[in-house]
Amino acid sequence: MCKKEYRIIVTRNKRKDRQIDLLSGSAYTYQGIITNNNVMSEKEVIEFYNQRGGAENSNRYMLNDFNLHQLPFMDMDTNTVYMYLMAMYATLFEWMKELLVKNKTEGITLKMKVKAVCFNYITVASTFIYHARQKILNVFSSQNYPPLRI
């Protein structure tokens, strides 16, 4: 029989809303990590697991917002190219959101998902009209859409 050693690392954070927990009787949130790594310090273990959580959130973002749940092709090589293109598109989309926020576009924040940005800014009914011998974009919305400056 092999005995494995584990250790528990618990973090405590004060709640922003100061709501008291019924079980602990305090206004703190406790989070624990069970690990068999006895080499790293407590701080290094917490940072390692936080990085892992960040990678999981990135995967969830790509799966949900860029539809990587259902790959469009039958062979893996073509799907790999598709996933690379979606990753490049995600990077360009994040850059575009930063531009929209920098230009103080109404209703756009950095935390918005793809669908929300598309409905608020990209998919807006518009048409070109001729007025005073100029071609003008007529936007059918009450919201102001200023030109983006890079």
Q: What is the pLDDT of residues 7-56, one digit of tens each?
A: 999 998 898 898 888 887 889 988 899 999 889 999 999 999 888 887 78
The domain in which residue 34 lies consists of 1-55
Q: Provide the whole-model pTM.
A: 0.59
147, part of any domain:
no
Runs of H (alpha helix) within the chain: 42-65, 76-102, 114-117
CA 2, distance to chain mean position in Å, is 42
Contact 66, 90 (CB under 8 A): yes
Burial of 35 from C-beta contacts in 10 A (0-12 / 13-18 / 19+): middle
Predicted confidence (pLDDT) per residue in 94-104, tens digit: 998 998 888 88
86, part of any domain:
no
Domains: count for the chain: 1
User: Does 120 score more than 90 pLDDT?
Assistant: no
46, part of any domain:
yes
Q: Is 118 helix (H, G, I), strand (E, B) or coil?
A: helix
31, part of any domain:
yes
